[in-house]
Amino acid sequence: MSTASVIVIGNEILSGRTRDENLAWLAVELNKIGVQLREARVIPDIEETIIKTVNELRSQYDFVFTSGGIGPTHDDITSETIAKAFDVAYICNGEARAILANHYGEENLNEARLKMAHLPEGASLIENPVSAAPGFMIGNVVVMAGVPIIMQAMFANIKNQIKGGKPVLSETLSIFLTEGIIAKGITEIQNNFPDVEIGSYPFIKNGRLGTSLVSRNIEQARIDEVVAKIKSFVSELGGEIEVIA
């Protein structure tokens, strides 16, 4: 099992102007490739904060994925800041420059656009099929754009280089009993199956209160055992069950 954290970089998320979509998307996609997302942070475009956060998280998790701040404008400081976090030079990457020259035309490669070819020394490029300017990977840190469509395309182009484990499987039982009624019995099942993570989430559907019980493990057989126990317990209480695979 590999572990990861996500850093969403951008004042616009913290000010409420932009609703982040990248965290939820990455949570799902990382799980598919057997990488467990352990923590996410949303931080502003402040050099000191970015350096501190990247260095703290890259030492704690197998991979760190960042989104945001790699464009051509004054508030795009992620690439230069990551170079400082790794204590390497921030240089014009020849391969990235060639991609941009091909995309914009050499004559249109102004200072702002050239900024997008400046990367930490030693970074390897992540292709951007949407708008050319590449993302990059350095050490265990994957640096991607903030625009969701571009971030997703970059992730598709890097994910084969991310060494994950077995994906965590899950099965959800949605039952029309409230958490307060089932908590004691579910706690007993959880205690008997400590390796299977049982999450309990209240919901309201068509005006009826209920609870979704999500069993998670890398082995389907263990999930099946827990689901059978939960079903049997709920039946005893006379609860109605909806299964969501």
Interaction of residue 167 with a second copy, rule CB under 8 A: no
Interaction of residue 58 with a second copy, rule CB under 8 A: no
Helix (H) or strand (E) holding 112: helix 111-115
Q: Among candidates 118, 155, 152, which has minimal Cα distance to 133? A: 118
User: 125 with 135: CB under 8 angstroms?
Assistant: yes
Tokens representing 226 are 């827990």
Min dist CB 63 to a second copy, Å, is 14
Interaction of residue 24 with a second copy, rule CB under 8 A: yes
Question: Which residue, 2 or 200, is less far from a second copy as judged by CB?
Answer: 200
Interaction of residue 38 with a second copy, rule CB under 8 A: yes
Interaction of residue 216 with a second copy, rule CB under 8 A: yes
Residue 45's contacts (CB-CB under 8 Å, 6 or more residues apart) are 9, 10, 11, 69, 75, 76, 77, 78
Give the whole-angstrom CA distance, residue 16 versus residue 146.
15
Question: Which residue, 87 or 184, is less far from a second copy as judged by CB?
Answer: 184
Contact residues: a second copy, CB under 8 A: 11-20, 23-24, 27-31, 36-44, 49, 71-76, 104, 108, 110-113, 115-116, 131, 147, 168, 170, 172, 179-184, 186-187, 190, 197-202, 214, 216
